[in-house]
Structure formats: C-alpha cells, structure tokens
C-alpha cells in the first residue's frame, strides 16, 4: 500500500478510509474495538466519523461513534498514528445544527471531548447551511485552525455551485480552503460525481473521500433478489439497485473478481482506488472477515482491460 496525499494538505493516508457510521449502530464498542484493531493492524490509518453518528438508532442521541473512536484511541494510545476525520452541521437536536460560527465553536468542543483528543486532522462541513454566509463558516474554521483544534477542512454534500463559491471565497479573503470532498460515489452511482464534481476536484486538487463506496452493500454481490434484502439491517437501502443496470454491474464484478481470486467488494473498491480523482473511498465492515476485502482492495491493481469492463457495465451515458 502506498500513502496518498489529501488535497494540498500535509495529511497522508492509505487508500481506504474506515467509515465510522457503524460504530454504535451495527457494531457495539467491543466489536468496534476489534474491527479498528484489525483495520490498523492491516496498515490503514484513516478513520472518518461525524458528530451525528449514530443518532438514527433508537435510544441514541448522536456522538456514539465519536465516543467509541475516542475510547479506542485513548486505550490504544495511538492518536498520533491516526488521521482522524469528523464532521459538523447535521441536526443534533433543537438549535444544534448548521454551520454558523457560534454552533461550530460549540460542536467542535463536543467532538473533541468525545474523541478524547485536542485536535481533529480533517474537520468537514457535513451538510450545507444556506442560512449562514459561507465566509462566516470559513472564518470559524480559520479560528479553529489558529487555535490548533483543527488542522485541515473538508466538505461533504455541498452542491457543485456552493463548493465552487466556497473555494472562491477562501481565495478572495485568504481563508482556509476545503482540501477534500466527500460525495456519494460508487460503481452504480457514478453520474452525480462524474458529471458535477470531478472536474472541480481535479481543477482544485481536492482529495475525494467518497461514501457509499459499496452502494450500501449491493456491490458485495450478496444481494441478488428481494429475498436477500433481509440479510442485514442495511438491506432495505439496496432495493433500488435490483434492476437491469444493477445486475449488469454485478455480472461484470463476478467476471472480474474471478480473474483476481477476489470478492466482488474488493474489485468494486479497487475500481474506485484506480480512478485518478479518488484519494480514499470510505468503507465500513462489521466483522473481521469482511476486513479482508478492504485489505485485498488496497493492494489490488486492476489492469486496463478489467477497468474497461467495469466502466462499460456501469456506464451512465
């Protein structure tokens, strides 16, 4: 595995980020520690979470994932070896959302406390806040960087227009610039990123750390019919992929995975890693067995012909 640079930052990561949305949801603290140990033992160093993870679980309030990651880093005494990314802006309760200066200053303290650290490597705007001027948000980040609480910033779920405007305001007022973009992107969901964001990413040298890298598990190949949807808690999200295009993509994954003696998940991730504009796809697992797919993907080099097979099967134009 070779490290990759996140945008124009001084952060170097191995080519897969672990998605912390499963912590406190489909993985309790004990299981999460086991998975994080396995992930870092395999050589990886990049963990992505958010303050709101996993508020959607009955009984949770948000912050569960950050708390687990913080407890793990504290127990393992490995904070300096981890590139830690989290996010701010998603609704956490009444008056606890958005990207205003006041709220960011409050939210970052809460995240730092849960993460048991005094700095965040990559702090990301989780969702856009149309009620707060972009300049105000960037000024808040400027202050946090000045104080040493945040090292670099990134964006997730911004429209291409708002992302471009943010980059322009950074330049105009000499404010921190987003170094990364976290969009939805995978072999099935290609059009949104490739059509609207990829050129912006390349023109501004942003690092793309895409979520839903395996399309909620569809690209693992374990969901082939509606009867398969109850195989996991995330099965319901896969239903929309069970169509002619989805099956064509699975067929290509099946064919290519045979060539490399690898699972479909590894091939789908390797396809992402091979794309020049992608720095590190975000993937989650809930067992050590599944972790093998991430390890394989990070060291797999797909040849041009096999990338072309996957490109053709998943083409959106």
Mean pLDDT of 204-220: 96
- Confidence tier at 120 by pLDDT (50, 70, 90): very high
Higher pLDDT, 308 or 216: 308
Q: What is the mean pLDDT of residues 289-304?
A: 95
Predicted local confidence at residue 223, as pLDDT: 78
Say what the pLDDT of residue 237 is.
76
**Per annotation, catalytic residue among 53, 185, 193, 241:** 53
- pLDDT band per the 50, 70, 90 thresholds, residue 115: very high
Q: Which of 215-219, 231-235, 240-244, 284-288 has the lowest mean pLDDT?
A: 231-235
Q: Mean pLDDT in the chain?
A: 95
- Range in 8-22, 105-119, 181-195, 210-224 with the lowest mean pLDDT: 210-224
Q: Does residue 110 have a pLDDT over 90?
A: yes
For residue 317, the model assigns a pLDDT of 77
Give the pLDDT band (50/70/90) at residue 9: very high
| Two tokens, residue 253 | 């994954």
Does the pLDDT of residue 267 top 80, yes or no? yes
pLDDT score at 224: 78
Q: Does the annotation count 53 as an active-site position?
A: yes
What's residue 15's pLDDT? 97
Residue whose entry in the numeric block shows the structure tokens 């890298």: 213
Per-residue confidence at 142, pLDDT binned at 50, 70, 90? very high
Confidence tier at 238 by pLDDT (50, 70, 90): confident
Judge whether residue 290 has pLDDT over 70: yes
Q: Is the pLDDT of residue 60 over 90?
A: yes
């Amino acid at each position: 595995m070779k490290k990759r640079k996140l945008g124009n930052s001084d952060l170097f990561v191995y080519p897969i980020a672990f998605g912390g949305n499963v912590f406190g949801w489909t993985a309790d603290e004990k299981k999460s520690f086991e998975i994080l140990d396995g992930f870092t033992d395999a050589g990886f160093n990049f963990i992505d979470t958010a303050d709101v993870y996993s508020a959607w679980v009955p009984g949770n309030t948000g912050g569960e994932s950050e708390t687990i990651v913080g407890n793990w880093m504290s127990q393992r005494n490995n904070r300096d070896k981890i590139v830690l990314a989290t996010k701010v802006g998603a609704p956490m309760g009444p008056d606890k959302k958005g990207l205003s200066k006041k709220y960011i200053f409050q939210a970052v303290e809460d995240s730092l406390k849960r993460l048991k650290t005094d700095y965040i490597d990559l702090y990301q705007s989780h969702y856009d806040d149309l009620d707060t001027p972009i300049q105000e948000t960037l000024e808040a980040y400027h202050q946090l960087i000045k104080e040493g609480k945040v090292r670099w910033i990134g964006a997730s779920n911004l429209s291409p227009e708002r992302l471009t405007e943010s980059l322009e305001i950074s330049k105009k007022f000499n404010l921190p610039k987003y170094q990364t973009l976290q969009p939805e992107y995978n072999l099935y969901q290609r059009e949104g990123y490739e059509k609207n964001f990829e050129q912006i990413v390349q023109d501004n040298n942003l690092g793309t750390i895409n979520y839903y890298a395996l399309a909620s598990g569809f690209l693992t190949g374990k969901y082939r019919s509606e009867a398969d949807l109850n195989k996991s808690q995330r099965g319901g999200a896969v239903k929309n992929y069970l169509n002619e295009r989805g099956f064509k993509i699975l067929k290509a994954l099946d064919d290519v995975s045979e060539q490399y003696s690898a699972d479909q998940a590894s091939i789908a991730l390797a396809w992402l890693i091979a794309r020049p504009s992608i720095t590190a796809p975000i993937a989650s697992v809930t067992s050590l067995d599944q972790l093998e797919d991430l390890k394989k993907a990070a060291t797999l080099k797909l040849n041009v012909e096999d990338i072309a097979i996957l490109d053709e099967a998943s083409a959106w134009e």
